[in-house]
Copies of this chain bind each other. A is one copy, B any other.
Amino acid sequence: MFRVDIMSRIPVYEQITGQFEQLIRAGLLSPKDKLPSVRQLSLDLSINPNTIQKAFGELDRRGLTTSVPGKGVFVSDEAVEILKQRSRQKMGDWISLTKELMEAGVSAKDFHQSIDALAGGEHDTGK
């Protein structure tokens, strides 16, 4: 279920937090669900427990999880809302940036092509 690439440039703990966020967004992990224990995940991924701990700390700091000492780490009630909120924020940033680039001369066509390229070319250019 989890994949961690030791060789990647992006920190391992971020790879972990990222995947948990995906699971929550997809509804595979819901509020009050329990995350795997630090020890267990550490063994499964062959990753230093400290790194797992750091990832969990990040999730906590972002309000996505709640740590209950002695019991485990649980998805917070507001997790879904927080993720939505963050997406809205980023979408706002994306719109601002797109506007700026348009003023700098980038055409709508350029954007459409880039998007198709990023999406894996599952959309034909003819529109």
Contact = CB atoms under 8 A, between A and B. Distances in A.
A91 B104 CA distance: 10
Nearest to A61: B61
Q: How large is the interface on A (under 10, 10 to 19, 20 to 34, 35 or more residues)?
A: 20 to 34
A39 interface: no
A118 interface: yes
B102 A119 contact: yes
A40 interface: no
Interface stretch (A1-9, A30-38, A70-78, A106-114): A106-114
Contact of A103 (B18, B93, B101): B18
A87 B97 CA distance: 11
8 A-B pairs closest in CB distance: A108-B119, A111-B115, A87-B104, A94-B97, A108-B123, A108-B115, A98-B118, A90-B101
Given A94-B94, A95-B114, A108-B115, 8 more contacts: A87-B101, A90-B104, A91-B106, A94-B97, A98-B114, A108-B116, A111-B115, A112-B115
